[in-house]
Structure 1
């Protein structure tokens, strides 16, 4: 069977979110700052089903949009980052990085089971989620996601069987 690939351009498909984050102890990215992220997706697999799709574009976009909405207008905080010392994660998220103390309302945060909120980690998260959810419905061999922090600047992660 022939493998095919579908491609979704995030800027044209409106797969985007705006969020703040920080990269602890990084020279220029260590303070809270934000990006208008755009998510591009490629899905490779065998055509199957009644319509012969690799995956229905709508299904792919629905998953990406769900994740984008979880991140949109939030401070992305990676819970597994060893440089972040959490003192509370309920009601008010309180944490410290290199002696600097933060206190942010929980509803303004997206607490992520990740080590970092970098574009690299975000692309890995999107790809893994897409691969898992699409594989239950389609014969997917790989998913590639690029999370762009701005036009022309992003990180790509590919997951495959």
Structure 2
């Protein structure tokens, strides 16, 4: 059985700015309204696959941290935090930005592409839901617009 939540219709969305240092056009600072699509695959237990409220709360707890922030790829080693000023200095491709820390969200990715954000969000949501005997997998797509995203799958079976 497969359950789907389409964030464009169920308000599982967030807005954020980002850049992709290695891409000629996308290296410029720009933003998106992102939508989350999640598919949960498994077998029913007590008449349901997973409680919609629990699933949506897990998604919201992840994306609310990213909402209205500058998404910075933490694995790219381009951001340095200055504790005395509470700011990030972000440097790449002869560009330099100083951003207040409260406006920055460091993602555990190499690039803030839809592909890597989908993996990042899927793993965080999967960890919040936890392994369950009735769930096989969750797939998450972080779409940069309706119909424009990549799915990443997380194994949800107990070891």
Give the structure-2-normalised TM-score: 0.89
- Of 17, 39, 43, 2:36 maps to 39
The corresponding residue for 1:102 is 97
After superposition, the CA RMSD in angstroms is 1.6
Distance 1:77 1:138 in 2: 35
SS across alignment from 1:144: strand
Give the structure-1-normalised TM-score: 0.88
Unpaired runs of 5+ in structure 2? none
Distance 1:95 1:8 in 2: 35
Distance 2:20 2:123 in 1: 22
How do 1:1-161 residues align onto structure 2 when only pairs under 5 Å count?
Answer: 4-48=1-45, 51-82=46-77, 84=78, 86-88=79-81, 90=83, 91-136=86-131, 139-160=134-155, 161=157
Unpaired runs of 5+ in structure 1? none
Contact 1:54 1:138 in 2 (8 A): no
Give structure 1 regions of 4+ aligned residues with deviation exceeding 4 angstroms.
none
Q: Report the CA distance between 1:137 and its aligned residue.
A: 5.3
